[in-house]
């Protein structure tokens, strides 16, 4: 059987694409993954900035509702891991551990993952003081002393944003000068709540149930000291999940899937990309959902023109 649409990945982008494709009677299949189903929001405690939920809700609950809505309109959600994609030609082939799916169009919504520090207790304390998204979690650190790790524009941006809530923000950077633009650095330097730790790396995390502090190591002298903090935001970039398509599809210099903006078309006819795998700028649930809508409409128009 050749399907109209196969969606690789889930999350806000994949499930929104499925909702629109299903309502267009395209009978989409979502290959959500066995472990990563639901995307990054499955690891987010409370979501308070998604429209329509004034009281907020847990990330997994939002994903469960999106999945339920997609299935209500006829989406077939399968928790299988895609291991191979063959995207050339009129009929695409998507191989999982269990099946091979053929489709006229493929929507990629494989997302991205935050680049981590690789510390022993990082995963254990994720969501309990350790975060990778200031926009998502900054509100929960009101009147607390927190750390931002990084030296680029995103680190400056996150630190400045977090001063809205935090008592103090300390930017920890491994070098003696920032990679960020002079404007962003100046903005941070002029903020009375922001402090700086140069030539320093986070070597160890402290805390049992939640973060209580970090051990900093001086990159020049090797000396160590403890910096008390109840929050740490890691802002050292993200890694788009493109390992299955990087040899087939055009990528941006940054590694994200290149699309023909404002559409979601890739360089391969019939293949579309949405969500964080193609978003170098915003990386938010609501923008991912919006791009999922665009991808489904683009796929629908492609199929109509091919008839």
CA diameter of the chain: 68
Q: In Å, how far are 144, 219, 230 from 165, measured between CA atoms?
A: 8, 30, 13
Six token digits for residue 156: 């400056």
- From the candidates 97, 123, 137, 176, which is the catalytic residue? 137
| Residue 227 C-beta-side C-alpha neighbours within 13 Å | 28
- Give the C-alpha separation, 6 to 20, whole Å: 13
Beta-bridge mates of residue 5: 105
- From the candidates 133, 274, 276, 279, which is the catalytic residue? 133
Torsion of CA 122, 149, 113, 135, to 10 degrees: 110
98 among known catalytic residues: no
Beta-bridge mates of residue 205: 214
121 among known catalytic residues: no
Question: Strand 168-172 vs strand 145-149: parallel, antiparallel, or unpaired?
Answer: parallel
CA end-to-end span of the chain, whole Å?
17
- From the candidates 76, 98, 123, 136, which is the catalytic residue? 136
How many other CB atoms sit within 10 Å of the CB of residue 68? 12
Contact status, residue 131 vs residue 268, Cβ threshold 8 Å? no
136 among known catalytic residues: yes
Active site residues: 133, 136-137
């Amino acid at each position: 059987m050749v399907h109209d649409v196969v969606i690789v990945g889930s999350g806000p982008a994949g499930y929104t694409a499925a909702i629109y494709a299903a309502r267009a009677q395209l009978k989409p299949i979502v290959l959500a993954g066995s472990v990563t189903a639901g995307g990054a929001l499955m690891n987010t405690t409370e979501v308070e900035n998604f429209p329509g939920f004034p009281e907020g809700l847990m990330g997994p609950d939002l994903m469960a509702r999106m999945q339920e809505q997609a299935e209500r309109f006829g989406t077939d959600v399968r928790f299988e891991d895609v291991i191979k994609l063959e995207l050339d030609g009129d009929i695409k082939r998507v191989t999982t551990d269990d099946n091979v799916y053929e489709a006229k169009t493929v929507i990629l919504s494989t997302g991205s993952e935050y680049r981590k520090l690789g510390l022993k207790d990082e995963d254990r304390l994720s969501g309990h003081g350790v975060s990778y998204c200031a926009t998502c979690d900054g509100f929960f650190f009101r009147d607390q002393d927190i750390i931002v790790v990084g030296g680029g524009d995103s680190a400056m941006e996150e630190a400045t944003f977090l001063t809205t809530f935090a008592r103090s923000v300390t930017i920890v950077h491994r070098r003696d000068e920032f990679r960020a633009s002079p404007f962003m650095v100046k903005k941070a330097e002029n903020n009375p709540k922001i402090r700086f730790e140069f030539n320093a790396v986070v070597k160890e995390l402290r805390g049992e149930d939640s973060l209580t502090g970090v051990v900093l190591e001086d990159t020049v002298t090797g000396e160590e000291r403890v910096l008390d903090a109840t929050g740490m935001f890691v802002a050292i970039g993200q890694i788009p999940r493109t390992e299955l398509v990087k040899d087939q599809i055009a990528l941006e210099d940054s590694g994200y899937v290149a699309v023909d903006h404002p559409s979601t078309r890739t360089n391969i006819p019939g293949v579309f990309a949405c969500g964080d795998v193609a978003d170098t700028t915003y990386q938010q649930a609501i923008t991912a959902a919006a791009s999922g809508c665009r991808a489904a409409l683009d796929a629908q128009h492609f199929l109509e023109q091919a008839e």
